[in-house]
A = this chain, B = another copy of it.
């Protein structure tokens, strides 16, 4: 993963980053701050240009004023912060245009060239716009503002369609103007830390890989929960629902990373090859293996928390699920018969994203004979927590020291985040940096997308055709009871119901 901007070449090469949809919320809150953080840390090339592009009229200075309010320096970077911000803003510009207009992008091209000033210039377009505009921008930008000497890359964010068909349509639409190599589909939950930690743990230690299969693992749980609802911003969400919004992409990506075979190398394409193989080995999800829910209003401590239907941006009588649980299976030699339980929901009692791996019981357990307690429940469990606070820990049984024999449960932290006091970078920083570096490990390939939709599309269709009503659950609760029955059907107990 060499950088295009080598030592000697820095004088002669440059990167231009255009944030398409610069006036949007995401751009302000995440993209510009991430670009600044990369600049501050020295991850951007010596010469670079940042352009905001949107329909609204704005001057360069107006843009700078807008974004300057969101730029912050980290605790360990207070020095020269204001100075750095100034320098960064000097490299930010604004261009107003239409998304479907080749001309607008040709004008942008002129301004970019002006800034690039004869250097070998590569160009990155960050499409922070609704998906229905993706193909328009791809066409206009590729025709009007492609790099001539360096590379041209485009970052797009989900949703990538609503089902297999619409996703294929979008893929084909983009493919008319961009090669697959140029497209960077972001799944920003795919934190590089998780990916690389998991890989490091499995593949650089001898002691984990032997346990990584159906022989030792009883079930896998991928859990995502938010402790807040749509809160007046449910309009977009209602069109997708929790399965499309969280499960089919974020949670499925986590399953693929967790379950994949060892890649032939650590190269992005090799890792993505293995991820696709896992996805292709997965059984299509069936209606009877899904439970959906929707949160309703709830009064607690005198406060009334609104239901999903109370959100004014949500259509009346919407049956869009804000919660879903699903049982999935990977029909390959490694995972045959191991239930992969997924759960995602809004307005639940806690905020977390994690993978929990429950190990099988100890065969012929010697201690079972000695004790009355159900040691089958006391199986080992490996928890990979993505948020809050990235961590990996293993639950084991040990003996309480002293005369007599009493067993206890301990958590072994496999990753001592407390050891490392460096602030962990935001996922946008990583992803933008990776796109500049051409590292596609954390981006989703078209065949991955296709395989992912293949698993979920049938059940999405069935839910809509049969207009299945979600089970209502109170705001702030643990979600629908149905999720427990679904787990019980496959002999699983949700691991997130205890204290950790």
Tell me whether A430 and B403 are in contact (CB under 8 A): yes
Tell me whether A380 and B332 are in contact (CB under 8 A): no
Residues of B within 8 A of A380 (CB): 205-207
Tell me whether A204 and B333 are in contact (CB under 8 A): no
Q: Which of A223-253 contact B (CB under 8 A)?
A: none
> Distance in Å from the Cβ of A226 to the closest Cβ of chain B?
24
Asked whether A165 is an interface residue with its Cβ less than 8 Å from the other chain, the reply is: no
Tell me whether A363 and B214 are in contact (CB under 8 A): yes
Tell me whether A333 and B210 are in contact (CB under 8 A): no
Residues of B within 8 A of A360 (CB): 206
Residues of B within 8 A of A422 (CB): 401-402
Asked whether A43 is an interface residue with its Cβ less than 8 Å from the other chain, the reply is: yes
Tell me whether B403 and A206 are in contact (CB under 8 A): no
Q: C-beta contact mask, A259-280 vs B, less than 8 Å → 1, else 0?
A: 0011111100000010001001
Q: Bound state CA distance, A203 and B396, in angstroms?
A: 11
Tell me whether A410 and B419 are in contact (CB under 8 A): yes
- Choose among B331, B370, B390 the residue that contacts A401 (Cβ–Cβ < 8 A): B390
Name the prevailing secondary structure of the A interface residues. loop
Q: Bound state CA distance, A264 and B330, in angstroms?
A: 11
Asked whether A193 is an interface residue with its Cβ less than 8 Å from the other chain, the reply is: yes
Tell me whether B366 and A262 are in contact (CB under 8 A): yes
Q: Bound state CA distance, A216 and B208, in angstroms?
A: 11
Q: C-beta contact mask, A385-411 vs B, less than 8 Å → 1, else 0?
A: 000001000101111111101010010
Among A43, A390, A417, A420: residue with most chain B CB under 10 A: A420
Tell me whether B196 and A399 are in contact (CB under 8 A): yes
Q: C-beta contact mask, A39-55 vs B, less than 8 Å → 1, else 0?
A: 00101000000000000
Tell me whether A205 and B333 are in contact (CB under 8 A): no
Residues of B within 8 A of A331 (CB): 364, 369
Residues of B within 8 A of A366 (CB): 199, 203-204, 262-263, 265-266
Which of A56-64, A178-186, A334-342, A482-490 lies at the interface?
A: A334-342
Residues of B within 8 A of A273 (CB): 273
Given A363-B336, A364-B262, A422-B402, also A207-B201 (CB < 8 A): no
Closest chain B residue, CB of each to CB of A201: B398
Tell me whether B363 and A337 are in contact (CB under 8 A): yes
Q: Which of A366-381 contact B (CB under 8 A)?
A: 366-367, 369-370, 375, 378-380
Q: C-beta contact mask, A266-297 vs B, less than 8 Å → 1, else 0?
A: 10000001000100110000000000000000
Asked whether A133 is an interface residue with its Cβ less than 8 Å from the other chain, the reply is: no
Q: C-beta contact mask, A183-220 vs B, less than 8 Å → 1, else 0?
A: 00000000011001101110111110111001110000
Closest chain B residue, CB of each to CB of A276: B264
Asked whether A113 is an interface residue with its Cβ less than 8 Å from the other chain, the reply is: no
Given A273-B273, A398-B415, also A403-B420 (CB < 8 A): no
Residues of B within 8 A of A82 (CB): none
Asked whether A24 is an interface residue with its Cβ less than 8 Å from the other chain, the reply is: no
Tell me whether A209 and B43 are in contact (CB under 8 A): no
Tell me whether A203 and B367 are in contact (CB under 8 A): yes
Among A261, A378, A396: residue with most chain B CB under 10 A: A396
Asked whether A303 is an interface residue with its Cβ less than 8 Å from the other chain, the reply is: no
Asked whether A299 is an interface residue with its Cβ less than 8 Å from the other chain, the reply is: no
Residues of B within 8 A of A262 (CB): 332-333, 364, 366
Q: Bound state CA distance, A335 and B365, in angstroms?
A: 11
Residues of B within 8 A of A214 (CB): 363
Q: Bound state CA distance, A205 and B425, in angstroms?
A: 35
Residues of B within 8 A of A266 (CB): 366-367, 369-370
Tell me whether B200 and A397 are in contact (CB under 8 A): yes
Asked whether A424 is an interface residue with its Cβ less than 8 Å from the other chain, the reply is: yes
Q: Bound state CA distance, A396 and B197, in angstroms?
A: 12
Which of A's residues lie within 8 Å of B, judged by CB?
A: 41, 43, 192-193, 196-197, 199-201, 203-207, 209-211, 214-216, 261-266, 273, 277, 280-281, 330-337, 359-367, 369-370, 375, 378-380, 390, 394, 396-403, 405, 407, 410, 412-417, 419-420, 422, 424-425, 429-430, 433
6 pairs from A and B in contact (CB 8 Å cutoff): A201-B397, A205-B362, A207-B211, A207-B396, A334-B364, A410-B415
Q: A204-B362, A401-B415, A402-B420 are in contact. List 20 more A-B contacts (CB 8 A).
A: A41-B403, A200-B399, A200-B407, A201-B396, A201-B398, A203-B365, A204-B397, A205-B362, A207-B211, A207-B380, A207-B396, A262-B332, A331-B364, A333-B364, A336-B364, A336-B365, A337-B363, A401-B417, A402-B422, A412-B412
